[in-house]
């Protein structure tokens, strides 16, 4: 239609942010206590999950991977492996055990170089088998 609008004094991004932040300050609100919800304290399922139908729960494995290697000034290879494995027991009880990077499934992005090249890898890797036996996994690096 051949019409346009040009703001005569456009604000900088910082000015716009300031105006949006302080234009309509929020009203103070009274703090109301949040009700407490009782959480199960015996660290296991509240139903019997020992049957074969719940094998998918026991198939869940959580790897907390913390691995580092580097060569020091003397030519020695320093390696640090603090990998832990979390898993579920017969009744859904969860436990952490010591593990190492050699136990991490190949589906993980962990790829330790040959030799002693500088390498750092930290992630949480979870894998499982569903009720039909299909393999699945997810990994989050941080």
Per-residue pLDDT of the chain (142 residues; tens, 9 = 90+): 455 556 667 777 778 777 777 776 666 667 677 776 665 555 566 788 888 888 999 999 999 999 999 999 999 999 999 999 999 999 889 999 999 999 999 999 999 999 999 999 999 999 999 989 999 999 999 9
Distances (CA, A) of 118 to 1, 5, 114, 121: 62, 56, 10, 10
Please list the residues that pair with 141 across neighbouring strands: 123
Q: Give how many domains the chain has, as a whole number.
A: 1
Domain limits for position 84: 52-141
Instruction: With respect to residue 74, please indicate whether it lies within any of the assigned structural domains.
Output: yes
Instruction: With respect to residue 56, please indicate whether it lies within any of the assigned structural domains.
Output: yes
Instruction: With respect to residue 127, please indicate whether it lies within any of the assigned structural domains.
Output: yes
Judged by DSSP in three states, 86 sits in strand
Instruction: With respect to residue 12, please indicate whether it lies within any of the assigned structural domains.
Output: no
Instruction: With respect to residue 43, please indicate whether it lies within any of the assigned structural domains.
Output: no
Instruction: With respect to residue 5, please indicate whether it lies within any of the assigned structural domains.
Output: no
């Amino acid at each position: 239609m051949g019409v346009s609008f040009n703001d005569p004094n456009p604000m900088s991004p910082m000015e716009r942010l300031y105006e949006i932040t302080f234009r309509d300050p929020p009203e103070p609100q009274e703090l109301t206590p949040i009700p407490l919800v009782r959480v199960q304290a015996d660290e296991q399922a509240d139903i019997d999950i020992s049957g074969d139908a719940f094998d998918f729960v026991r198939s869940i494995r959580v790897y907390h991977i913390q691995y580092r290697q580097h060569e020091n000034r003397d030519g020695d290879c320093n390696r640090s492996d603090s990998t832990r494995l979390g898993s579920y027991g017969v009744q859904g009880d969860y436990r952490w055990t010591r593990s190492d990077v050699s136990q991490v499934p190949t589906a993980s992005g962990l790829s330790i170089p040959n030799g002693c090249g500088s390498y750092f890898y930290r992630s949480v890797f979870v894998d499982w088998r569903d009720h039909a036996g299909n393999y699945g996994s997810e990994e989050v690096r941080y």
